[in-house]
Amino acid sequence: MRTMFDEVIKKIREITSLKPETLVVLGSGLGGFADKLAEHVTINYKELFPYWKADIPGHKGLLHIGLIQEKPVFCMEGRMHYYEGYSDEEMRFPYLLFAKLGVKQTIVTNACGGMNPEYEAGEIMFITDHINMTGHNPLCGMVPESGTSLFCDMSEPYDSGLIELATEIAGKLKIKNHRGIYVGYSGPSYETKAEINAYRNMGGDAVGMSTVPETIVANQTGMKVLGIACITNKATGVAAGKKLSHEEVLSEAERIRMKITGLLTEIIRKI
């Protein structure tokens, strides 16, 4: 993997002189944010990650590099999911790569289901903590860099300072927001009613199939993380008789996209 790191870093350095300290990971249907980047260059994931699989709808597989409010940013349009068959090593590779490239903070967004009955589609939740129900930990089998440990502290996986900043900005933009606990579920099938009831009893407020792996790796490298969960639907059983579909998730994410674009722009400006 060390050779892969060197090769990918060389490719990125060849196409841009920008050295971002902020990484934005865009969830399903939220890729339009990348259009706001100035001095914008794009690399297909297949040039960076040889193991990248067929694209999932809403996840194009593009790395964008450019400026937001004069601040350089890496922007991942698309992410890897355990349900696609990626190994722990493959899941952690991108975030270890960005740490080597100098990233100090990661803003992770996702499209997810609201388990908390007070949450409505179109609202957002700033993630304060998570429950890992994927059955995986991306640090398994990892040989840590000198001076780092596999046994990283997870007492504050989502940075409280960034949450306060984001909440203040969301309020000024009049974006309805909550703070809550995210449950990471492997998928790809949606959760059963019994599972949702169990996750609610555990303290979960929203559920999705991403975010947890990258947050764990980011914390291991020392990055600060801000998690923004976009509520695109009510989870199974919360809205009686409602069937779930990926198409519905993408449609609602598109509706949320403009408010998320404004929110991300202001957060990056003030970091």
- Alpha carbon separation from 40 to 75, 169, 178, 256 (Å, rounded): 10, 25, 32, 23
Instruction: Choose the catalytic residue: 28, 110, 177, 219.
Output: 28
Asked about 246 being catalytic, the answer comes back as yes
Instruction: Choose the catalytic residue: 21, 40, 47, 84.
Output: 84
- In sequence order, what are the beta bridge partners of 225? 106
Asked about 223 being catalytic, the answer comes back as no
Asked about 28 being catalytic, the answer comes back as yes
Q: Is the dihedral of CA 243, 85, 182, 211 positive or negative?
A: negative
Please name the residue that has the structure tokens 């709808």.
57
| C-alpha closest to that of 172 among 267, 255, 107, 253 | 267
Structure tokens at 46: 């297949």
Asked about 210 being catalytic, the answer comes back as yes
* Alpha-carbon span 110 to 231, nearest angstrom: 9
Type of residue at 93: F
| C-alpha closest to that of 212 among 155, 132, 158 | 132
Q: Is the dihedral of CA 118, 123, 127, 132 positive or negative?
A: positive
What residues have CB less than 8 Å from 57, skipping those under 6 apart? Answer: 28, 246, 250
- Phi and psi, residue 99, nearest 5°: -60, -40
Contact 162, 226 (CB under 8 A): yes
Instruction: Choose the catalytic residue: 137, 142, 239, 246.
Output: 246
Instruction: Choose the catalytic residue: 45, 59, 99, 185.
Output: 59
Instruction: Choose the catalytic residue: 110, 116, 219, 233.
Output: 233
Asked about 136 being catalytic, the answer comes back as no
Asked about 81 being catalytic, the answer comes back as yes
Instruction: Choose the catalytic residue: 170, 209, 218, 235.
Output: 209
Instruction: Choose the catalytic residue: 21, 51, 83, 248.
Output: 83
Asked about 83 being catalytic, the answer comes back as yes
Instruction: Choose the catalytic residue: 110, 116, 177, 210.
Output: 210
Instruction: Choose the catalytic residue: 111, 115, 223, 235.
Output: 111
Q: What are the catalytic residues?
A: 28, 59, 81, 83-84, 111, 209-210, 233, 246
